[in-house]
Amino acid sequence: MSPCQQQRCAGLSGTVNEYSSHVVCGRASTMQRNLWQIILRISDRILAKIRLRQDFGDLLSEAAGCKTTTRGASTRTNRLFDWFQRHWFQRGPGNMNYLPDDNSKYKDVDYWDERYKTEECYDWLGSFSKFRHLLENHVKKDESILILGCGNSSLSSDMYRAGYLSITNIDYSTVCIDTMRARYSDCPGMTWHQMDVRRLCFPDASFDVILEKATLDAIMVEEKTPWEVSPQTTCFIHQALTEISRCLKPGGRFVSVTFAQPFFRKRLYARTEYNWSITHHSYGDGFEYFVYIMTKGEELSPEDAALERKLLEDNKSPPTRIATTHNEDKEDFLYNIDL
């Protein structure tokens, strides 16, 4: 790989991470959002083949410069779509039929009930194999595990086959739970329950490990910017994290797998009242995802404790808007991100 190619690949990875925080948080048009979700879903397999491909970088550069109100936007977007069709969609339609027309539907149980009636399996942020090496460093095979928002992912069964035999799964979709319970009825030690993450029906200190993968991301889909989380979502996340901490045994770990960078996600996790420390790792080939490990009974690091103090001080001050380089009143935020 030449220095020029290395620089382009590194820039592409950084750009994708920045795009993700904006697109998933609702700052894109429906066309941009749906297109980018498709890109994210297939990225981990595509990038292995095309990370040196000059045309991919060129096409993303064009997509970054396209404004949805111009005639050229349609041509550039179609070129990007056609390119992905040649390299991926020829294998099958994937999950395109399940893309909602509005991101807010990711919080709607009716949307998930309908989706789970026909969708067989889908793994957000990649399969278990992508981060197994990280999980094995923090989770023992004989520990009790609770998976939040299990969905129709293969995560539970993959972990079960890897030797994790005490797994409890919850999801707020009854359709999902009924389907998954029947599908894995031959797995002793694997249980399924319909439940809300804000009201976990388990005694205190029930689990060694509680794991979520993209569940909290789905809760935040209506946020306009990662810089300012709405009071409603902040309350929802706080209720969930309080329940998670309550249900963890002393020394237990909360494992959170997400697309969210530490700068944004630690702002939610760094609270003394949760009684845990925070570490994080990343995985992915070019498209980076993050694994946060919160260990109950350990203190926040000095850095995270300072972050908590700063956030508390900011909350006491009159609300001010954080200046960014992006204009939220326009849909061409992609144009402002330089590759």
Please say if the pLDDT value at position 277 is more than 70.
yes
Number of neighbours of residue 216 by Cβ within 10 angstroms: 23
Please say if the pLDDT value at position 339 is more than 60.
no
pLDDT of residue 23: 47
Please say if the pLDDT value at position 312 is more than 50.
yes
Please say if the pLDDT value at position 83 is more than 70.
no
For the chain, the straight-line distance linking the first and the last C-alpha, in angstroms and rounded, comes to 18
The full 3-state SS of 78-118, as one line of letters, equals HHHHHHHHHHCHHHCCCCHHHCCCCHHHHHCHHHHHHHHHH
**Residues of CATH 3.40.50.150 domain(s) within the chain?**
128-316
Please say if the pLDDT value at position 49 is more than 80.
no
| pLDDT: which is higher, 49 or 286 | 286
Q: What is the dihedral of CA 46, 34, 85, 61, to 10 degrees?
A: -70
The answer to whether residues 62 and 78 touch, using CB atoms and an 8 Å cutoff, is no
Nearest C-alpha neighbor of 264 from the set 220, 305, 319, 300: 220
- Reply yes or no on domain 128-316 having CATH 3.40.50.150: yes
How does 122-137 read in b/e, with b if 16+ C-beta sit within 10 Å?
ebbbbebebbeebbee
Of 53-62, 289-298, 308-317, which range is least confident? 53-62
The answer to whether residues 126 and 153 touch, using CB atoms and an 8 Å cutoff, is no
Structure token pair of residue 199: 């009201």
Please say if the pLDDT value at position 245 is more than 50.
yes
Which run of H or of E encompasses 254?
strand 248-258
Structure token pair of residue 115: 């989706």
What percent of the chain shows pLDDT beyond 90?
42
The vertex-42 CA angle with 41 and 47, nearest 5°, equals 130
| pLDDT: which is higher, 135 or 19 | 135
The answer to whether residues 334 and 64 touch, using CB atoms and an 8 Å cutoff, is yes
**β-strand 276-283 against 289-296: which pairing, if any?**
antiparallel
Of 24-38, 82-96, 222-236, which range is least confident? 82-96
| pLDDT: which is higher, 167 or 33 | 167
Q: Confidence band (pLDDT; 50, 70, 90) for 336? A: very low
Q: Is 337 exposed, middle or buried (0-12, 13-18, 19+ CB in 10 A)?
A: middle
pLDDT of residue 30: 58
- In which residue are the tokens 């609270």 written? 271
Query: Which backbone phi and psi does 199 adopt, to 5 degrees?
Result: -140, 75
pLDDT of residue 108: 66
Please say if the pLDDT value at position 106 is more than 50.
yes
Task: Give CA–CA dist 271/312, Å, rounded.
Answer: 10
The answer to whether residues 28 and 36 touch, using CB atoms and an 8 Å cutoff, is yes
- Name the pTM for this structure: 0.66
pLDDT digits (tens, 9 = 90+) for 133-176: 999 999 999 999 999 999 888 899 999 999 999 999 999 899 99
The answer to whether residues 255 and 293 touch, using CB atoms and an 8 Å cutoff, is yes
- In which residue are the tokens 């970054």 written? 64
The answer to whether residues 216 and 104 touch, using CB atoms and an 8 Å cutoff, is no
Nearest C-alpha neighbor of 124 from the set 171, 69, 66: 171
Structure token pair of residue 121: 């399996």
Nearest C-alpha neighbor of 27 from the set 338, 334, 339, 336: 334
- In which residue are the tokens 């790989």 written? 1
pLDDT digits (tens, 9 = 90+) for 196-216: 999 999 999 999 999 999 889
| pLDDT: which is higher, 139 or 58 | 139
**β-strand 207-213 against 276-283: which pairing, if any?**
unpaired
The answer to whether residues 144 and 120 touch, using CB atoms and an 8 Å cutoff, is no
| pLDDT: which is higher, 6 or 248 | 248
